[in-house]
Every structure is written in structure tokens, then in C-alpha cells.
């Protein structure tokens, strides 16, 4: 069994590499014209690089790089050092990620082709070629996913007395219980649809579970259509736990799909069900509208949210046992072809299997719990006092997010606090942060909240959030039309004596207590008045109108952050060219912005050591002799989702270190509102040490190769295993 999986793994990697090689040999379109440089640089500062830095072969395709990240997530399901249920979760997270990849990334490429608006990136790869490569790789990795699930995960769960019971194995008592469940829970809410001229093919919701049924016979009206659709009710769970008294111990689960399969005949009285097969349609879920025509963003979004469920089809998933005639019928109905069809050996809606976490109580098969640490100065009752004694830098989830919440809670109750300003991107309607803002507004404080309504897949939640805050008396604004507000900033203005004092929080992640336990992020808490003044100016730009305001200590996109990064990279290049040591370390979620990549190529060619820790997409191609052979690119995949954004520049022994809300992508640097801030002293030293941990990691890190593939790092013989995430847990958590 294991040999089979290893053979499939080898086959998948081989086919993947063949697809990448084919990509590299594809014809290159003209490179994009470069816009005016943000930072001037003289001929004496940087010599002309002999390589054309716009050449398409220097860039990895963004979509294929994104797909590589999803593959690395899937590979975690094979890591035996991970607890079994967590391995299952990685496999299901892969499904969720792939869903979004099709809903957004694949849908965008298909839309370009549909409307003749083909656009190429710096890799010059045509959308049709991109879609062909995606199809080749996705068919391989989806097949691999189901093999891992069926041949390994399910079998290992069986050994742990966790059973997914197929219907042919139900006992008489279990069958009776399931039939009763079907009659009481399923029949009242299910609506089978026979297909005939008066009942056309139903409009099925994005990613919903459905069944296509072959029928024999005539119904009560004498109709003989031969085919029907059964949409599985979205209100019903996809996994049901059998009562313990009906089983011989352990955890016993059955699929809703098995129940519908077993009793499908009862939904068509007097007719015979010849076949019943699962399928699912993935649709374009991106919301696009002309911002120039938008008069009320909230109302426009409310209208678009419904249409997201019924966008153009981009993928068909079907049970591999489905007859070809039915597959062809569905393909024709949804205008999809064979390359967009995925025949799977198991449930088509794997993401809904995440319910296992609530149905199975096996802590021995989960991550070992931990308590995030809290710095000593923040353990007191007064956070304001702690910040007056010095800045605080927290790394979540290893250190607690609670001090951030406590600061806002204290501000809400403190009679000396006169105003609170806050940005919210993803936070949830009932979060502790929102509760504190509501309390502050109701107590008479001036509360201003900038909510980004267009945070993808959180639009509806953010609309409800805005309504709740407005009802409490908060001033709610939606940022700037055309620029998503991705900045993470909180400002508290407190009256102390005869003056107003500003306290600030700046972060790399969202104000969400839940994700603060799952994502790695930095929080910077400070009473620095110049920082507070800068944060105040950022809020003025977001809520009011006016010219760009000069900031003293912060850098913000789309105005100064991009230019500052180019300046710092080129400073390292100048140092290296003058015989001094140059070193750059960047940790972000994505690296795709062409100017930054070209600057990194120039730095590497000049001899600068460049260490990049890029979780997801990376267009930069390392390992090109004479150009990028001084660049090391790695991705960390582990228990926690890496989300920190840190930029380090050696500066000839006088390091400059920054944190930010921004990745090194076009959208972050040029089309979003972002904040970046420099840290000093012990905090800068700490960030460098933690970056070194990630570069030292030899068990959860993956190295990007010149051909665009990734290889996982393994300890050399006799080398000690080192995990950055585990080291940080041991250093900070309890």
C-alpha cells in the first residue's frame, strides 16, 4: 500500500516537472513596458547588468507558483510526525485552497479568454497555456489526494478505531436508524428535480453537493424523462455520527451522500433508480464591478454577493463511476470540456469532512495544546503604563494576542480615552475587538472604524460588522475607492494631564483572535508619539481627502513603501559593489512585483546574499548563474500558517529592520493601503534571530529550484532536526 503511494508520488512529481519544463519552452510574448522608476539611481551607483532583466525566462508564472504552494500543503498529509487528524486536516485544507484557486485564479484566466482580454505577466505566458498547465498538474495532484486519503489516511484512522462506514457494511440496526434519519431529517428538506421541458436543469449553487440520477419508468403524470437532479440540502451535515449503542466501539461516521444513495428510490415513488452519482460544480466567485460607477459600495456588494453563487462554471467534479453519457451531459450543460472535468474516487466535497474535528474527540491525534506566552510587562492591569515604559513586540501565536484585545478593552472603559481609530479587514461580527469598539462608542467615545468591505469571501461578514458598529454609534467608513485597505492599525487617544497622548498598535495580521492562534504574525504596541502622529495621518487619508501627508516613522502604500524597499535593496547593491558585505532577508507571503524582483536580481549579481522566505507565490527564479545564484528562496509549511511580513537589510553592520502589513506583490505595493514600520534595538535583533530560525529550519522548509519546483529540506546524516515553529513554541509558549 505504501509502495503504491510512493510510486504515485514519484509519478506526480515527474509529470509536474514535465509540465514545468514545457512551460519554460513556451514562446515568450513581449515583456511588459516598465513604468517610471520610483527611485532615481545613477549610472555610477549600479553598472548595467549584462542580462535583460525583463526577459520572460527569468520569471516563474504566478498561477503555477500558487499551485506549488497548494502541493506543499498536500504533502503535509504524508508527514508521519504530524498527528493523524492533523494530517487529515492538511489534506482537507488542500481541498479548500484548491477550491479558491479555481474560483479566483482559474476563473480569471478563463474570463480573459472568454472576452478576448488576454494579459500576460513578466513570464509572458498566455492564459491558454497557463490553463493547460494547471489542468495537467491538477489532474495529477487531485488523483494523488484521493489515493492518500483512501490508501493511507482512512486506513490509519481505522487502526485508531475511527470508522467511515460504507452503506454495504451497515448492520440491520444501523440501517433502520439511518432510514429513520432519512425520513425525519432529509425528506422534509430535499427537493429532487426531474428533468423535462417544464423542469429545465436547475441552477445549482457554487460548490454544492448534487446527484445526477438515471431513472426508469413513468411518474404519476406519465412523464418518462429518464433523468433527475437531487441537490443535497445545504442545511444538513455531510457527516453523521452513528449512536454509540449501535456500534462496537470507537467513532463511527457515515456520509450524507451514502444516505441519499441508499434511499434515492424513495424520492421517486414507482420508478426505478438505475444509477445515482455525486457531482459538484465550482463557479467563478470573483466579484468585479466598475468602481467608477459605484455610488454606494455597501449596496453594490450586497447585490454582487448573491451572483457569486451562480457565476460561470470553471470545474466539474464527479464520482469516477459516473457513466460517460452523464458526464457528457453535465459538460454540455455547464459548457466545460474534458480538461475541466475531474473524476474522483470518493466524496466530491471533501472540505465538508472538516466536521470530523467536532465529531471525534481524540486529543491524542491532534496537536499538543499550548498556552501563548505573555511578556512580563504586559501581565499587569494597565497596558498604558506598560507601553509608557517601552515598546512591546509580540509574535503570535507563540505569544498571546490578548494584550492587544486588553488594550482596546481598557481604552473602551477608561474615562480619559477620548477617541479610538481602528482598521478592520477580517475580524468577525462578534469578536472581542468589535465588542470593545461597540462598548467604547456606547460610552460616548469618538470611535472611527475603517472596514474593508471587499476582503475576499468576508464581504458579507463585513457588511454585518459595519451595520453593528454603525448601530452602536461608530463612524464607519469603507476606505478609498479603488484601493483596498489592508493596513492593520489601531490608534487610541488619551487625555493625560494637559495633553493628548497617542497609543498605537501596528500589525502584520488581522484583528482576529481566532486566526491569532493559527497564523504567525507580529504585533507592535507603542506609545511613541511620532508613530502615533503618523498613524493619525494615515487615518486622515482614509477617512478624509487631501494631498499625501509626509510621515516621520511609517512607510505606507501606495505612496512610499515600494520606493523605500527599492532604495534599501539598491543600498545593499552599492555596498556590495564597493567591496562591503551586503545581506537582505525578506519574509512575506508572496513575491511577484517585477521591479522588486529586478532589484533583487541586481543585488544578487553584485554579490549581495539574499535570503527569501516566501510562503506562497514567488515569481523570482533562483539559481541562475551570474544573476540569482546568491538568492535562496524557501517556504515554511507547518502547524501554523506563516503570515508575518519582515524585511531585513544588513546595511554594512547597521541593520535596518521593518515589519509591515504588505507582501511584495503588485496589489500590496501599488493598489492597496498598507503600513510598514521600522523596529530598533532589541526588537530588531529579535527579528533577525527569528529570521535565522526560518533559514535554519531543516524539516518544515522547502527550497525553490531554478525550474520552479520545490524540494523539501531534510536533516543531513548526523544533523540535528531543527523546526523554526517548534523552537518558537518552546521559546515563548507554555
List residues forming the annotated binding site for Mg(2+): 426, 456
Q: Which of 346, 361, 321, 367 is nearest to 153 (CA)?
A: 346
What whole-number distance in Å separates Cα of residue 659 and Cα of residue 682? 14
CA atoms within 13 A of residue 458's CA, in its CB half-sphere: 16
- Tell me the backbone φ, ψ of residue 354, rounded to 5 degrees: -60, -15
Radius of gyration from C-alpha coordinates of the chain? 28
Element (H, E) at 96: helix 84-100
The verdict on whether 486 is a catalytic residue reads: yes
- CA triplet 635, 640, 641: central angle to 5 degrees? 55
Q: Which of 237, 89, 238 is nearest to 157 (CA)?
A: 89
- The sign of the dihedral angle between the CA atoms of 699, 657, 731, 366 is negative
Q: Does residue 471 contact residue 444 with C-beta atoms inside 8 Å?
A: no
What whole-number distance in Å separates Cα of residue 613 and Cα of residue 651? 19
Annotated binding site: 97, 426, 456, 519, 615, 643
Using CA atoms in the order 307, 70, 705, 31, what is the torsion angle rounded to 10 degrees? 0
Before 558, cis peptide (omega within 30)? yes
Tell how many helices (H) and how many strands (E) occur in the chain.
21, 27
Catalytic residue among 66, 163, 486, 562: 486
The Cα-based distances of 576 to 383, 603, 650 in angstroms read 44, 8, 11
Q: What is the CB neighbour count within 10 angstroms for residue 464?
A: 12
Annotated binding site for ATP: 97, 519, 615, 643
Residues 6+ apart with CB under 8 A from 728: 395, 398, 690, 693
| Residues acting as catalytic residues | 486
Amino acid at each position: 500500500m505504501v509502495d503504491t503511494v510512493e510510486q504515485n508520488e514519484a509519478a506526480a512529481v515527474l509529470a509536474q516537472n514535465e509540465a514545468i519544463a514545457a512551460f519554460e519552452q513556451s514562446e515568450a510574448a513581449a515583456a511588459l513596458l516598465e513604468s517610471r522608476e520610483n527611485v532615481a539611481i545613477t549610472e555610477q551607483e549600479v553598472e548595467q547588468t549584462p542580462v535583460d532583466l525583463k526577459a520572460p525566462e527569468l520569471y516563474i508564472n504566478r498561477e503555477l507558483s500558487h499551485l506549488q504552494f497548494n502541493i506543499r500543503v498536500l504533502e503535509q498529509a504524508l508527514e508521519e510526525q504530524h498527528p493523524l487528524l492533523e494530517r487529515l486536516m492538511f489534506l482537507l485544507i488542500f481541498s479548500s485552497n484548491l477550491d479558491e484557486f479555481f474560483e479566483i485564479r482559474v476563473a480569471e484566466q478563463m474570463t480573459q479568454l472568454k472576452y478576448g482580454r488576454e494579459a500576460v505577466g513578466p513570464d509572458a505566458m498566455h492564459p491558454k497555456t497557463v490553463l493547460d498547465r494547471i489542468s495537467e498538474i491538477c489532474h495529477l495532484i487531485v488523483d494523488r489526494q484521493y489515493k492518500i486519503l483512501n490508501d493511507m489516511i482512512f486506513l490509519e484512522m481505522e487502526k485508531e478505531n475511527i470508522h467511515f462506514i460504507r452503506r454495504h457494511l451497515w448492520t440491520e440496526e444501523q440501517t433502520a436508524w439511518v432510514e429513520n434519519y432519512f425520513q425525519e431529517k432529509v425528506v422534509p428538506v430535499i427537493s429532487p428535480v426531474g428533468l423535462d421541458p417544464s423542469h429545465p436543469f436547475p441552477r445549482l449553487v457554487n460548490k454544492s453537493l448534487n446527484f445526477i440520477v438515471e431513472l426508469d419508468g413513468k411518474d404519476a403524470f406519465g412523464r418518462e424523462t429518464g433523468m433527475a437532479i437531487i441537490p443535497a440540502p445545504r442545511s444538513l451535515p455531510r457527516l453523521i455520527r452513528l449512536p454509540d449503542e449501535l456500534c462496537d466501539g470507537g467513532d463511527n461516521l457515515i456520509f450524507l451522500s451514502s444516505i441519499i444513495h441508499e434511499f434515492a428510490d424513495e424520492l421517486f415513488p414507482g420508478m426505478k433508480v438505475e444509477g445515482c452519482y455525486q457531482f459538484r460544480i465550482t463557479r467563478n466567485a470573483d466579484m468585479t464591478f466598475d468602481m467608477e460607477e459605484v455610488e454606494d459600495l455597501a449596496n453594490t456588494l450586497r447585490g454582487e454577493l448573491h451572483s457569486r453563487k451562480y457565476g460561470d462554471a470553471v470545474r466539474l467534479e464527479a464520482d469516477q463511476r459516473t457513466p460517460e453519457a452523464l458526464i457528457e451531459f453535465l459538460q454540455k450543460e455547464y459548457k466545460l470540456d474534458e480538461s475541466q472535468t475531474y473524476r474522483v474516487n470518493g466524496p466530491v466535497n471533501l472540505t465538508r469532512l472538516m466536521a470530523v474535528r467536532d465529531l471525534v474527540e481524540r486529543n491524542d491525534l491532534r496537536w499538543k495544546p499550548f498556552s501563548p506566552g505573555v511578556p512580563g510587562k504586559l501581565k499587569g492591569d494597565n497596558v498604558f503604563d506598560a507601553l509608557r515604559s517601552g515598546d512591546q513586540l509580540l509574535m503570535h501565536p507563540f505569544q498571546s494576542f490578548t494584550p492587544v484585545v486588553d488594550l482596546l478593552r481598557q481604552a473602551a472603559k477608561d474615562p480619559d480615552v477620548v477617541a479610538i481609530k481602528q482598521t478592520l479587514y477580517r475580524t468577525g461580527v462578534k469578536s472581542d475587538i468589535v465588542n470593545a469598539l461597540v462598548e467604547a462608542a456606547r460610552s460616548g467615545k469618538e470611535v472611527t472604524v475603517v472596514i474593508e468591505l471587499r476582503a475576499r469571501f468576508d464581504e458579507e461578514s463585513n457588511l454585518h460588522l459595519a451595520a453593528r458598529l454603525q448601530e452602536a454609534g461608530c463612524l464607519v467608513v469603507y476606505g478609498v475607492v479603488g484601493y483596498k485597505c489592508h493596513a492593520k492599525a489601531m490608534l487610541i487617544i488619551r487625555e493625560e494631564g494637559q495633553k493628548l497622548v497617542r497609543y498605537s498598535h501596528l500589525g502584520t495580521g488581522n484583528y482576529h483572535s481566532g486566526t491569532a492562534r493559527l497564523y504567525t504574525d507580529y504585533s507592535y504596541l507603542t506609545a511613541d508619539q511620532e508613530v502615533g502622529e503618523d498613524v493619525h495621518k494615515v487615518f486622515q487619508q482614509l477617512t478624509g481627502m487631501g494631498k499625501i501627508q509626509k510621515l516621520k516613522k511609517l512607510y505606507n502604500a501606495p505612496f512610499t513603501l515600494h520606493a523605500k524597499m527599492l532604495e534599501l535593496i539598491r543600498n545593499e547593491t552599492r555596498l556590495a559593489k564597493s567591496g562591503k558585505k551586503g545581506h537582505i532577508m525578506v519574509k512575506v507571503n508572496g513575491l511577484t512585483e517585477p521591479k522588486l524582483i529586478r532589484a533583487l536580481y541586481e543585488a544578487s549579481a553584485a554579490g549581495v546574499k539574499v535570503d527569501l522566505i516566501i510562503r506562497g507565490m514567488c515569481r523570482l527564479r533562483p539559481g541562475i548563474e551570474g544573476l540569482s545564484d546568491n538568492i535562496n528562496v524557501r517556504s515554511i509549511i507547518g502547524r501554523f500558517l506563516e503570515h508575518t511580513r519582515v524585511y531585513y537589510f544588513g546595511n554594512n553592520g547597521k541593520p535596518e529592520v521593518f515589519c509591515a502589513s504588505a507582501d511584495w506583490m503588485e496589489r500590496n505595493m501599488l493598489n492597496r493601503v498598507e503600513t510598514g514600520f521600522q523596529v530598533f534595538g532589541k526588537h530588531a535583533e529579535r527579528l533577525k534571530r527569528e529570521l535565522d530560525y526560518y533559514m535554519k529550519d531543516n524539516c518544515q522548509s522547502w527550497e525553490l529550484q531554478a525550474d520552479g519546483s520545490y524540494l523539501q529540506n531534510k536533516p543531513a546524516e548526523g544533523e540535528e532536526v531543527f523546526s523554526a515553529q517548534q523552537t518558537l513554541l518552546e521559546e515563548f509558549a507554555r
